[in-house]
Amino acid sequence: MCGIVGYVGAEQAAPILLDGLSRLEYRGYDSAGVAIYSQGKVRVAKAKGRLQVLSDMIQGGRAIQGTIGIGHTRWATHGAPSDVNSHPHVSHSGNIAVVHNGIIENYAELKSFLQSKGVPFVSETDSEVVAQLVEYFYQGDLLEAVGRVLHRIQGAYALGILCCDQPDQLIAVRKDSPLILGLAEGANFLASDVTAILRHTRDVIYMEDGEVAVLTSQGVQCYNSLLQPITKEVSQVDWEVDAAEKGGYEHFMFKEIMEQPQALRRAVFPRIQDGEVYLEDFALTDEDIRGLSKVYVVACGSSYHVGMVGKYHLERLLRKPVEVALASEFRYMEPIVDEHTLVIVISQSGETLDTMAALREAKRLGAKVLAIVNVVGSSIAREADEVLYTWAGPEIAVATTKAYTTQLAVLNLLGLYMARRLGTVADEEYTQVLEQMLLLPAQMEEVLEKQSQIQYLASQYFNHESIFFMGRNVDYTLGLEGSLKLKEISYIHSEAYAAGELKHGTISLIEDGTLVVAVGTYGPLFDKALSNVVEVKSRGASVLALTTQSQGERMAEVANDLVTIPDTHPLLLPSLGVVPLQLFAYYVALHRGCDIDKPRNLAKSVTVE
C-alpha cells in the first residue's frame, strides 16, 4: 500500500525520488507525485496512472531542479484516483508539502474546523488536512507545528513533510504505518520500505510508533512523542540490491516462485542441527510450552492459509486445541485468550495493520505472542514476545509465493520443536520429518521442472471464467491458497471448497465444461478424493488433478489432466503441492495478458483497515 520516499542531500532530488518510487511500485498504487524545493518555492508534479506518466511529465526528474524533496505513490482510500487527489498535498499558501500513508480517522472534523477559519481545500482526501493543519499551526518552528498537529489527528499515518521556510530539512512521522530512515554520507532518506533506498545506503533506522525525525543532509535527529530528543540504533540491511530486482525474469512473481528452493534452504537448514530443531535465541521455555492450554494462529490472506495448514499440523503434533483467526476479525470476536494461550501471528511484511492490532489485543489479554515474519526489524517483529524470521529475502510481487512456503516451513519447525518438549511426537516420526525437510528444496526443484507441462495446461484452461478447487484435510487448505493465487492475478472467479461439502450445495454449480482443480495429495483420504473427482465428472466437469507420484496412476484413470509431486511425509506435502498451483495461476494470468506483479486494486503491504 502507498509508497513514500524522501531525500535531502547534495544531488538532484527528483531522479532519486523517481527511482525510489519505482522500487515501491509492487506495493500497489494508482497515482504518483513529487514535491521538490526549487528556487525558493515547493514545486509539485503529480499524475494519475503509472509512475512512467509522472516521469515523462518531469523528464525523468530533469525538469525540476532541487536537492531536497518528497515523493509518493498513492493507493486510493479517500477520493477517487485523480491528479488532484494524488500526493504530495500542499497547504493553501504553498508553504507546506506533505505525503501520507494511512488514514486520518477524524479528518472530516478537522477539515470542517479549518474551513470555518477560511482555509480552502482542493482534494477529496483525508491527507490534505495534514498539510493545511501544519500550516495553521506553523509560526516559524516546523517541528513545534508538527507536534501540535500530532496531538489532534487520529488514525494511522506515516508522514513526510517539507516546508519552504526551512528548505534544508525534512520531517518524518510514524504511527501504525511503516517508515524507515536511511543514513548516508552527505545525504539522508526516509522511505516506507528499505527497497526504495537500498541503492544509496544499507544503514537504516526503524522508526517506532509516535516518533518524529528531522532529516538534514548532515544528520538525523529523532524525537519521542513529547518531542524530546532520543538516540536510535542504526541497523544494517544485509541482503543484496539485486535480490530486489528481476534478474532477467519477465516478472517478479515468476522469479520468486523459482527462488523457493533456495529460500527454503535459508529458512530450514540452519534450524536443523544434529538431528534436532534448533531455534536460536528462542526464549519460550519447556515450562511455558507445557503450560499452554491453547494456540491461536492469526494472519491475513496467504498467511492465513498457512495458519489453516498449521492447524492440522499443530493439533496433530501438540495434541492441543488450535484455532485459526483472520486478523481483521480477531479483535472483534472476543477471543478466549489468557496467559496460557500462545498466539502465533504471521505476516510477510511485519507491518500488516490488522495483524499488528491483533498482536496488541492478544498481549493486552495476557497471551504470549510469537511472530513469524520475513522483514527484520519490522513492527510486528519488534512488538512480539518471540520472533522467528523466515529469511525469504525481499518479495516484490503482490501475490506472495516464497513467503508462503517459508512461513509454512518455519511453522512446521516450531510445531516439531514444541512437540519434542511435550513428548507428543514419536522419536521415529520426528527424525523422519526432519530428514525429509532437508530433502524438500531438492524435491521442490523437481516440481519446478514441470513448468512447461503446467504452462501447457494453463493454455488449455485460461479462458474459463469460473474455476473451483476442492480437497480434503490439508488439501482443502491448499486449495484455498491455489484459488487465492488464481483470482489475485488472473481476475478469474475462483472458489475453494472442502470436498466433503459438495453435496451440501456446491455441486449445483457444476455443469458441462466447469473446471475443477482437485487436490488429492493427502494419502489417508485419497480414496475419498478419488470419489469426489468421479462425482464432479459425472456432472460434466473437467478435472485438473494434483496428487503424489505414488497415487498418480490411479488418479490419471479418472481426471482429465494430472500434475504430480514427489512423495514425502504428510506434514510436508502442502509445501510441495502449492508450487504447481502457483505456476498454474502465473501461466493462466500470463495467457490472459494480466499485470501479474501489480494486480488491480491490490497492495503488497496492507497498512490500513
pLDDT, position 247: 66
- State the DSSP string of 89-123: EE-TTS-EEEEEEEEETTHHHHHHHHHHTT-----
**pLDDT reported for residue 444:** 97
Residue in 111, 175, 402, 604 annotated catalytic: 604
d(CA 570, CA 477): 14
The string of DSSP codes covering 310-366 is HHHHHHHHH-S-EEEEEHHHHTTS-----TTEEEEEEESSS--HHHHHHHHHHHHTT
| Catalytic site includes residue 2 | yes
Helix (H, G, I), strand (E, B) or coil at 546: strand
Is the distance from CB of 494 to CB of 417 less than 8 angstroms?
Answer: no
Q: Cα(359)–Cα(341) distance, rounded to whole angstroms? A: 13
* Helix ranges (DSSP H) in 384-525: 402-422, 427-448, 451-461, 474-490
Q: What is the predicted pLDDT for the residue at 376?
A: 82
Distance CA 429, CA 313 (A): 13
Q: Which pLDDT does position 243 carry in this prediction?
A: 59
CA-nearest of 135, 165, 170, 168 to 149 is: 135
φ, ψ at 224 (rounded to 5°): -85, -175
Rounded CA separation 77/128 (Å): 13
Name residues whose C-beta falls within 8 Å of residue 492's C-beta, 6 or more positions apart in sequence.
464, 465, 466, 467, 486, 588, 592
Terminal alpha carbon distance of the chain: 11
Quick one: pLDDT at residue 27?
65
Q: How many other C-beta atoms are found inside a 10 Å radius of the C-beta of residue 534?
A: 12
CA geometry: angle at 347 spanning 342 and 352, to 5°? 110
Q: Reduced to 3 states, what is the DSSP secondary structure of residue 409?
A: helix
Give the span between the Cα atoms of 463 and 486, in whole angstroms.
13
pLDDT at 455: 94
Q: Is 482 left (phi over 0), alpha (psi -120 to 50) or beta?
A: alpha
Q: What are 469's three cell numbers? A: 478447487
> Are residues 345 and 358 in contact, defined by beta-carbon separation less than 8 angstroms?
yes
Using CA atoms, how far residue 212 sits from 170, 201, 429, in Å, is 11, 21, 52
Q: List phi, psi (to 5°) of 598.
A: -130, 65
Q: What does the pLDDT look like over 158-167, one tens digit per residue?
A: 999 999 999 9
Q: Rounded to two decimals, what is the model's pTM?
A: 0.76
Q: Is 604 a catalytic residue?
A: yes
- The angle that helices 474-490 and 573-591 make with each other, rounded to 10 degrees, is 20
Q: In the block, which residue shows the cell 511484511?
A: 349
pLDDT score, position 608: 47
Measured between alpha carbons, how far is 60 from 52 in angstroms, rounded to an integer?
9
**Catalytic site residue from 2, 163, 222, 300:** 2
Residue 4, exposed/middle/buried by CB under 10 A (0-12, 13-18, 19+)?
buried
> Could you tell me which of 4, 98, 86 has the C-alpha nearest to residue 45?
86
Model confidence pLDDT, tens digit, residues 63-75: 999 999 999 998 7
Instruction: Give, for 263, the enclosing helix (H) or strand (E).
Output: helix 260-268
Residues of the chain with pLDDT under 70: 1, 26-28, 78, 239-247, 602-609
Q: How far apart are alpha carbons 74 and 86 in whole angstroms?
A: 6
Query: What domains are there in the chain, each with its CATH number?
Result: 3-238 (3.60.20.10), 252-448 (3.40.50.10490), 451-591 (3.40.50.10490)
